[in-house]
Amino acid sequence: MSFGFKNIGHFFATVAADIVKGARAVGGVMMKVGKSETEIETITSLFFPQAVALERGAFALLGLAAQAVSEAGDAAAVNGLNITLDQQLVADIKSLIQAIEEYAKSVGTAKPAVGK
């Protein structure tokens, strides 16, 4: 049986989630031995240098989406929703996309073709 991705969004979400899981596992071990957040971030960055930026970016996007959905109320469920990202967040996401693609390639995960 072969695992495939539904689309490019599924690819990025899956690979990013795996990266965060790995980084959190390392961080969890460090928490058990009483280390501070800075030390945990240092250790997790050994696993994936952009792990901290990835987690912060994911939560930033979640926050934007949650705010937009809350403000739109029921209209979001009916009409869908668009979210505006500022220039810096777009640049940060582009950087993370490249890092995730490089990580996926290094562990043998194939990126699907971009669909239209």
Of 105 and 25, more confident: 105
In a domain, residue 46? The reply is yes
* pLDDT tens per residue across span 17-64: 888 887 777 667 666 655 566 777 777 777 788 887 887 888 888 888
| Identity of the residue numbered 71 | E
**Structural domains of the chain, count:** 1
- Domain housing 82: 8-106
Q: Which residue has the tokens 């050994």?
A: 46
In a domain, residue 37? The reply is yes
Return the sign of the alpha-carbon dihedral for residues 37, 38, 44, 49.
Answer: positive
In a domain, residue 82? The reply is yes
pLDDT at 1: 41
Task: Measure CA of the first residue to CA of the last residue in the chain; give whole Å.
Answer: 26
Question: Three-state DSSP class for 99?
Answer: helix
Q: What is the mean pLDDT of residues 81-97?
A: 88
* pLDDT tens per residue across span 13-22: 888 888 888 7
Average pLDDT score over the chain: 79
